[in-house]
Structure 1
Amino acid sequence: MEKKVLIFFLIVLVFCVAMYGLFGRVSVTLVMASADKSKPGVHFVYLGASETEGRGTEDRGTEGVTSRETLSCRLKNKVPFSTITRTLAPLQAHPMIKSLFPKQSLEDVVHYNSCAVVSSSHAMKFHNYGRDIDAHDAVVRFNCAPTKNYVTHVGRRTDIRLINTVIPYTSCQREFWDRRVKMFNNEIVVVRNFLNVRVGKHGKLDLRQDQHHSFGNYVKYRRTFPERTMHFIQRPNFGVDIKNELSHFCNGKTNCKTTESEKSPSTGAHGIVMMLHLCDWVYTYEFVPSAVDRNTSLAHYFDEETNFSWLYHSYNTERDYWRTLTVTSLEEVERTGVAVFRGLSQYNCT
């Protein structure tokens, strides 16, 4: 077995040297041991003009790399990731509820090499990324985004599902509560946390803005399905910290829409930042839109009726932020909709 691994590694090394000679700088992440359900393999990241020649768009090149590193370190330091565990101070007064929460935070349970963060964008119907997505060590989907009937476009695996607070309050009740439905069954489920679960001034649980009862539904879910132990809620203030970081970014941009500063970050933003903490490499699919689907206002690849809404979330600011952080050339993102990011663990920040 060790001999086979060595031969495989040498083949990869020779291939990388050849790729370097042909295309310039190529970053390789080699998966020698992978997460459950993943397929071991090699993921190649082409670091385009933004990482090498400094061509193409404003604030790229050397200045762009510096900006990306600075922003990444700010994100790493200002927006740490964790999930609520049974050690959270307000839970100590409620032992029956406390026992329903995990002993460990999610980042202490998993860390991946290469991750796919798959948007629910209608543009996904125009790509055949299924195999590429499934080849990653972890695949993240959002809310109740399906794979059935869309495998060619979005893949079949789901390792982590990040849901917003309206689930199951107004959406996906059957998928959430019916144990016969596979969705949520064998997945790590994470509830996004913007303002819904907070710690009050006196150290008590503050659920005043949890209008869709996400905390109560979490408790009910854990009692209904005690065997499903991989169910988490993002830490208090995680979404608020993302919003503050986006506002800081926006304040330094002359073309930023300051009206978005009052809006909350999208569930997608909660998911990308989470995975930047949990993965060495993060591949996002159609979060920074490609040019393939600009003739429609439809929102989702699985829905031909609902239009995209700009009303609630800071999408413009988020997209500018991702364009600054990605190591992929903006021309490539425009063409493919795939933006690659270095995980925050790869930045040595002071």
Structure 2
Amino acid sequence: MSHVAHPPPVLRGTGSKPIYTDPQKLPGVIPGDPQKPIPILSSSNYSIESSNKVSNLKGKRREHGLFYWLLAAPLRRAVETIFGRKRKGIMGAASGDEVFFGPHGALGEVWNDEMSSTMLGKRLRKVVQNYQAMNKYGVQYPRAESGAHQSKLSGPELLCQIKKMVQITTLTQDMEPFAGFPWASQLSPRQLISDIGPFKTCAVVSSAGSLKNSGLGKEIDAHDAVIRFNAAPTTGFEKDVGSKTTVRLINSQVMASEDHHFLSNSLYSAGILVSWDPAPHSSDLREWYNKTDYPIFKQYQRYRRLHPQQPFYILHPRMEWQLWQRIQDNMGESIQKNPPSSGLLGTVLMMSLCEAVHVYEFLPSRRKTELCHYYQRFSDAACTLGAYHPLLYEKNLVKRMNQGSDRDIYMYGRVTLPGLKTLNCTHGSTSGMISKT
């Protein structure tokens, strides 16, 4: 009998509500009441290794058998929504995506930094609207409400704005309220950017499905430092993604999910760990400590007891929202009131540690595909265009800041960004906002 991929079990946070899988790993949400979105089939563990446990739903979409009718009614509706026929005009995980990802798709050869929600299909447009309306983190930002924005900055201006207005900070043992806790000594006494680097060249390796069959492994490993994300593996994928891991950035949902085996999986014990968890938009550290999305601090303490020598940092949540504001200020419409993706957070983090940064397949190359991750078989346009995270707008921002060529993006999915310390930013002079050579 076929099995449905349910959201993985997770630990409960500090509140009383049950925790659901990160919506970015549930790219589709059934349109309806924005306060009560319905999570649908999870892809978080639909890996190549475990795919024999999960049926191929694409093959089921044309006929309803026993499998279909054994599903609960909400899941039947979810399946119908995801795998609706093209003639209904619905963009689902397995139908209709050709309009974006085919050789003549709407995404074009190279990402257009003027992409907006009006270019999305009906399903994704509704999902984005739902998340904009939910405002789970209590964002109070006039420009986000009105869609009003300043004139869009140029790439060099954007880079300097990020340098000046995004504080790359990690928690240290002297910060309140942590200084008063018995486990404060498990936190680093120093900032991450003081402890590691600087590096000359760095690679940011996304988990995008378009890395599959890229052959970029040797190029990636040639960098002085490499950052990877969440549960993205290298074993078995070295030819495409390389094997070097200097930093791994993980979200708190991965830390809490039982299926990811965070405390015991050797995947996480290589390199430097950096974790993050969304905080309410205007909260201080004490409020965040009592209102985390997932039990990041409990898991952090457990992991540190098992691996006391491994460097392990926690991002200050202020960075997430400062970066979110840079995105919102430079877009012509309201974006999701949710924090940026791990991919963008990791990119800016490496820009603070490196002289030059190459980001791979954050902007999709000629290999662009609806496949979510190179190590999974789950497909959904939302993994590229965004649902929970404002991915579409993040990509616009990165495209504008790119100092490489469009050919680099098309051929290799490679974006070139300067290290923040290399920037020569002068007040009132756009011409001065350039990277030192």
TM-score band w.r.t. shorter chain: 0.7 to 0.9
Name 1:267's counterpart in structure 2: 342
Q: Unpaired runs of 5+ in structure 2?
A: 1-111, 115-152, 427-437
Tell me, what secondary structure is at the counterpart of 1:184? helix
CA distance in 1, matches of 2:404, 2:346: 19
Larger relative strand fraction: 1
Partner of 2:300: 218
1:308-347 aligned at under 5 Å gives the runs 308-309=381-382, 310-347=386-423
Amino acid at match of 2:391: Y
Q: Specify which of 196, 202, 205 is matched with residue 115 of structure 1.
A: 202
Aligned 8 A contact 1:163 1:192 in 2: yes
Which one-letter code corresponds to 1:339 in the other structure? V
Does the CA-based 8 Å contact 2:213-2:240 persist in structure 1? Answer: yes
**Counterpart contact for 1:126–1:153, Cα < 8 Å:** yes
Structure 1: gaps of 5 or more residues:
1-56, 60-65, 251-255
Provide the C-alpha distance between the structure 2 equivalents of 1:58 and 1:205, rounded to a whole number of angstroms.
Answer: 36
Which string of whole-angstrom CA distances, capped at 9 and with x for unpartnered residues, describes residues 86-134 of structure 1? 121212222x121110111110011211000000000001310101111
CA RMSD of aligned residues (A): 2.4
Sequence identity (%) = 28
Q: Does 1:206 align with 2:293?
A: no
Q: Distance in 1 between matches of 2:171 and 2:259?
A: 23
Looking at structure 2, the residues matched to 213 and 308 of structure 1 have their Cα atoms a distance apart, in angstroms, of: 30
Task: Give the number of the structure with larger relative contact order, counting CA–CA contacts within 8 Å between residues 6 or more apart.
Answer: 2
Rounded Cα–Cα distance in structure 2 between residues aligned with 1:68 and 1:333: 16
Equivalenced residues, count: 274
Compared CA separation, residues 138 and 171, structure 1 to 2 (3 A): farther
**Structure 2 counterpart SS, 1:133:** helix
Residues of 2 paired with 1:246 and 1:76: CA distance? 14
Contact 1:197 1:207 in 2 (8 A): no
**For residues 70 and 90 of structure 1, do their structure 2 counterparts lie closer, same or farther at Cα, with a shift above 3 Å needed?**
same
Instruction: Report the more deviating stretch, 210-219 or 70-79.
Output: 210-219
Alignment of 1:236 onto 2:317: yes
User: Which secondary structure state, in structure 1, belongs to the residue aligned with residue 231 of structure 2?
Assistant: coil
Change (3 A) 1:221 1:308: farther
Helix, strand or coil at the partner of 2:253:
coil
SS in 2 for 1:177: coil
Deviation digits for residues 143-166 of structure 1 (CA, Å, limit 9, x no counterpart): 010011100000011110000110
- The within-5 A match list for 1:117-266 is 117-170=204-257, 172-174=259-261, 176-178=262-264, 181-195=265-279, 200=284, 204=286, 206-228=288-310, 230-250=311-331, 256=332, 258-266=333-341
Greater CA deviation, 110-119 or 326-335? 326-335
Residues in 2 aligned to 1:189 and 1:339: alpha-carbon distance in whole angstroms: 24
Given the two structures, how large is their TM-score scaled by the length of structure 2? Answer: 0.59
Distance 2:279 2:218 in 1: 36
Pair 1:70–1:340, CA change in 2 (3 A)? same
TM-score by length of 1: 0.73
Contact 2:171 2:315 in 1 (8 A): yes
Pair 1:85–1:348, CA change in 2 (3 A): same
Cα distance in 2 for partners of 1:284, 1:90 equals 35
